């Protein structure tokens, strides 16, 4: 495989992906969603390694289901059971799997910049399953797929992303992709969770409730220094999607959240499965979207 095709087959982020490429992945995901058979073995004989150097349940299972539905052989490991704990570097681990003959790698890791560096050294396609607070491209693709499924047309929509923007790779990937698709993205965040590096307007919670899509983010406690939030109650009062606030959403508006959810912090328990919520459909849509991304890496 040449360097160019390797680059085209990998998915490191959405910042550098064209609008056409994004749309072609969404269209292919729609194709996979419409397939009646659970398994279509187009990747028979291909080996995919899911390498999670940071905790994950949903994303890891979603990739695994997608890979198995395409008939691939799947290898899994998470950092807790790997020799990373014994000091082996991320590079050595990925290189080890590469030398054993994997055809593609799905990777999640914490340190920023490592993935971009790895991609220059590893010769099989890599798919980013979340790198630090930089990008989480398949999450944003499934979010956008969910929006397109509900509204039909993306252009002209308004999306309010609310919460811990500073630590959110989901907000970054969504911002960069949605802007290319003609969607107006606005952020709403407590002052200490604003991301100064991102070009988006910040609005109040009242304004955010007027958007077509209100996307709530998990408060990323594991990435916080002490005292970033006063208390869960205080956060909910100022930035939570409460039952009372949700009554002010437009009837056509939808509620999204990438999960896992801190119930009754960024979103009230009763809203998670509310008729306007798309939180479980987001998870459902993650599988065909990841099938499209893995197929693009390997076929």
Q: Which residues fall in the annotated binding site for L-aspartate?
A: 86, 169, 218
Q: Within 13 Å, how many C-alpha atoms sit on residue 249's CB side?
A: 25
**Which DSSP string corresponds to 18-32?**
-HHHHHHHHHHHHHH
CB nearer to ligand NCD: give 13 or 258. 258
The least CB distance from residue 164 to ligand NCD, in Å, is: 8
CB nearer to ligand NCD: give 47 or 235. 235
- Rounded to whole angstroms, the Cα distance separating 61 from 14 reads 22
The least CB distance from residue 138 to ligand NCD, in Å, is: 8
Residues ≥6 apart with Cβ < 8 Å to 171: 161, 165, 187, 195, 198, 217
Distances (CA, A) of 7 to 4, 183, 289: 5, 27, 19
Annotated binding-site members for carbamoyl phosphate: 58-59, 108, 136, 139, 259-260
47-66: contacts with ligand NCD (CB under 6 A):
58-59
CB nearer to ligand NCD: give 125 or 137. 137
Which is it for strands 104-109 and 47-52: parallel, antiparallel or unpaired?
parallel
Task: For residue 107, list its beta bridge partners.
Answer: 51, 128
Task: For residue 108, list its beta bridge partners.
Answer: 52
CB nearer to ligand NCD: give 95 or 224. 224
Strands (E), 132-227: 158-162, 184-188, 201-202, 213-216
Annotated binding-site members: 58-59, 86, 108, 136, 139, 169, 218, 259-260
Q: Residues touching ligand NCD: how many (CB under 6 A)? A: 10
CB nearer to ligand NCD: give 103 or 216. 216
CB nearer to ligand NCD: give 103 or 143. 143
**Which DSSP string corresponds to 267-286?**
B-GGGTT-TTB-HHHHHHHH
Helix (H) or strand (E) holding 109: strand 104-109
The tokens describing 219, both together, are 């408060």
Determine if 170 is a binding residue for ligand NCD (CB under 6 A). yes
- In three-state secondary structure terms, 141 is helix
DSSP state, 249? S
The least CB distance from residue 95 to ligand NCD, in Å, is: 25
Q: Of 147, 141, 172, which Cα lies nearest the Cα of 159?
A: 147
241-270: contacts with ligand NCD (CB under 6 A):
258-259
- Rounded to whole angstroms, the Cα distance separating 107 from 288 reads 18
192-251: contacts with ligand NCD (CB under 6 A):
218
CB nearer to ligand NCD: give 103 or 115. 115
* Residue closest to ligand NCD (Cβ): 218
Kindly report the backbone phi and psi dihedral angles of residue 96, in degrees, each rounded to the nearest multiple of 5, phi listed first.
-60, -50
The least CB distance from residue 111 to ligand NCD, in Å, is: 15
111-140: contacts with ligand NCD (CB under 6 A):
130, 136, 139
Determine if 169 is a binding residue for ligand NCD (CB under 6 A). yes
The least CB distance from residue 136 to ligand NCD, in Å, is: 5
The least CB distance from residue 216 to ligand NCD, in Å, is: 10
The least CB distance from residue 144 to ligand NCD, in Å, is: 15
Contact residues: ligand NCD, CB under 6 A: 58-59, 130, 136, 139, 169-170, 218, 258-259
């Amino acid at each position: 495989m040449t360097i160019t095709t390797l680059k085209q087959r990998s998915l490191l982020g959405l910042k550098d992906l064209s609008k056409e490429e994004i749309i072609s992945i969404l269209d292919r995901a729609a194709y996979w969603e419409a397939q009646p058979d659970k398994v279509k073995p187009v990747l028979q004989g291909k080996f995919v390694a899911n390498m999670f150097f940071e905790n994950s349940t949903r994303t890891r299972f979603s990739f695994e289901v997608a890979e198995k539905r395409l008939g691939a052989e799947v290898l899994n490991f998470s950092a807790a059971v790997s020799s990373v704990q014994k000091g082996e570097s991320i590079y050595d681990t990925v290189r080890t799997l590469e030398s054993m003959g994997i055809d593609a790698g799905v990777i999640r890791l914490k340190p920023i910049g490592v993935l971009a560096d790895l991609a220059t050294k590893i010769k099989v396609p890599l798919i980013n399953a979340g790198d630090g607070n930089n990008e989480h491209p398949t999450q944003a693709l499934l979010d956008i797929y969910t929006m397109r499924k509900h509204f039909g047309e993306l252009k002209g929509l308004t999306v309010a992303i609310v919460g811990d923007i500073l630590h959110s790779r989901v907000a970054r990937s969504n911002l960069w992709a949605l802007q290319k698709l003609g969607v107006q993205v606005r952020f709403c965040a407590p002052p200490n969770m604003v991301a100064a590096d991102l070009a988006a307007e910040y609005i109040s919670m009242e304004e955010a409730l007027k958007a077509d899509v209100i996307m709530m983010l998990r408060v990323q406690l594991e990435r916080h220094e002490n005292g970033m939030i006063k208390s869960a109650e205080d956060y909910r009062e100022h930035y939570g999607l409460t039952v009372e606030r949700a009554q002010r959403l437009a009837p056509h508006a939808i509620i999204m959240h990438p999960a896992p959810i801190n119930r009754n912090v960024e979103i009230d328990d009763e809203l998670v499965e509310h008729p306007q919520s798309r939180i479980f459909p987001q998870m459902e849509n993650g599988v065909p979207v990841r099938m499209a991304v893995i197929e693009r890496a390997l076929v």
